[in-house]
Amino acid sequence: MSPTQPFNLLYAQAGGVTAVINASAAAVIEAAREHPQAIGTVYGARNGILGVLSETLVDTTPLTPAELAQLALTPGGAFGSCRFDLDPAEANPAQYDRLFEVFASYRIGAFLYNGGNGSMDIVARVAAAARARAYPLCCIGVPKTVDNDLEGTDCSPGFGSAAKYLATAMRESGLDLAAMSSRRGRVFVMEVMGRNAGWLAAATALAARNEDEPPHIVLLPEVAFDEEAFLARVKAVVERLGYCAVTVAEGIRRADGTLVMEQSHDALGHVQLGGAGQCVARLVSARFDYKHHWAIPDYLQRAAGHWRSATDVAQARAVGRAAVAYALAGQDGVMPAIRRLADEPYRWDVQPVRVEEIANLERRVPPHFIAADGLHVTAAAKAALAPLIEGELPVPTHAGLPDYFQLQLAPQPRRLPAWTR
């Protein structure tokens, strides 16, 4: 591309979506429009890198400012997401040839990929391939994950809102649990997302203002599950309060590395796997005959646009805007990361980090955030997580439900031959 002509920008979303990823998308589009001399059209790929490969691109130009504002408050991934890894360039050069045919055909000078650990690997690969081909491309990662497990950033957009939702759910369920009188003890288990990192489980501890409030136990994937210690704590809490609320991350494992999952067989002998929450609830009921309930918020926890953290939304927008600024500055192979400047009052800014340094890594809950007995989190953890759930935002509604945006941009007419996966 000529340096005097504007380049076009391509934005795409990848991995599990969040309540705020569309706020990053809207911020990218808004920021790009502020620089018409440098940036021409903002395209979006449908379903992440798959949409690039298949040349399924939309032109975001028709979106009005009002529509962008509505997009910003809509959960889910409006452009569509994917779980798809690029092959190594040496192993599959044709895949990269195709990517750059698409980039060239649409005069793409900046590629912004909004995702997590794996997506940062794609950013690094595409950046390296562009350099190898001397194709003038700025590849930039935009962070996003409810799991909060991206390295190089103090937190990840998407996490704060999921954390706020789950901490609220624990406080509210705890009030329900506390209301019922029963001579049998009662146990409530909430299973939250987190295969390897227990950030979301840890955040539910924010619901408790003292040790009598739920959750009374927090089980993290970072801690080997000790059934006896867990059951002893449940018993102690039930004997003190009459009930016990437990948060369990879906990925908790025993000391031998096996997942804590209910494994059973159906009538035909097929193995059936229940989740960690169900398994833990059953362990309690088998030992103590307490009444047990379990909740699995599943998608609800990462899509709760009606109850987002204002801090999280601000950070999602900030990384979107920063990514555009980096593209304008020619910063290639970076991700805008949240840097914590102060705890109280919480202050943060955005700084670029190199994607190769963080791709595919997983940031787990550190030891000083985990209680010595492994059954809860520390005050330090709560202090660190507290600001991330702060702030509420108005939710436009229609007929009693959130009035979310539906992206209805038709894909661009195809310029290249069809791609076969």
Cα gap 396→170, rounded to integer Å: 25
Q: Which is nearer to its own copies, 235 or 291 (CB)?
A: 291
Cα gap 112→79, rounded to integer Å: 13
147 is catalytic: yes
The answer to whether the annotation marks 340 as part of a ligand binding site is no
At its nearest, how many Å lie between its own copies and the CB of residue 261?
11
- The closest of 233, 229, 228 to 246, measured between CA atoms, is 233
Cα gap 62→69, rounded to integer Å: 14
- The closest of 20, 28, 66, 67 to 44, measured between CA atoms, is 28
Strands laid side by side in the 108-115 sheet: 57-59, 39-45, 7-13, 108-115, 138-143, 334-343, 346-354
At its nearest, how many Å lie between its own copies and the CB of residue 198?
19
| DSSP-derived pairing of the beta strands 397-398 and 346-354 | unpaired
The answer to whether the annotation marks 195 as part of a ligand binding site is yes
The answer to whether the annotation marks 250 as part of a ligand binding site is yes
The answer to whether the annotation marks 193 as part of a ligand binding site is yes
The residue type at 257: G
Q: Which is nearer to its own copies, 113 or 404 (CB)?
A: 404
The answer to whether the annotation marks 147 as part of a ligand binding site is yes
Q: Which of 121, 147, 149, 332 is catalytic?
A: 147
Backbone angles phi, psi at 218, to 5 degrees: -130, 115
Q: Which is nearer to its own copies, 207 or 335 (CB)?
A: 207
Residue pair 17/312 in contact (Cβ under 8 Å)? The answer is no
Residue pair 74/22 in contact (Cβ under 8 Å)? The answer is yes
The answer to whether the annotation marks 362 as part of a ligand binding site is no
What end-to-end distance do the CA atoms of the chain give, in Å?
28
Q: Which is nearer to its own copies, 143 or 214 (CB)?
A: 214
Q: Which is nearer to its own copies, 133 or 306 (CB)?
A: 306
Helix (H, G, I), strand (E, B) or coil at 113: strand
At its nearest, how many Å lie between its own copies and the CB of residue 168?
5
Helix (H, G, I), strand (E, B) or coil at 240: helix
Q: Which is nearer to its own copies, 103 or 404 (CB)?
A: 404
Structure tokens belonging to residue 113:
């990929």
Cα gap 11→43, rounded to integer Å: 6
At its nearest, how many Å lie between its own copies and the CB of residue 201?
16
Residue pair 371/149 in contact (Cβ under 8 Å)? The answer is no
At its nearest, how many Å lie between its own copies and the CB of residue 188?
6
At its nearest, how many Å lie between its own copies and the CB of residue 387?
8
Q: How far is CA 239 from CA 71, 184, 288, in A?
A: 49, 10, 11
Catalytically annotated residues: 147
Q: Which residues are annotated as a binding site for substrate?
A: 145-147, 193-195, 250, 299-302
Q: Which residues are annotated as a binding site?
A: 16, 117, 145-147, 193-195, 250, 299-302
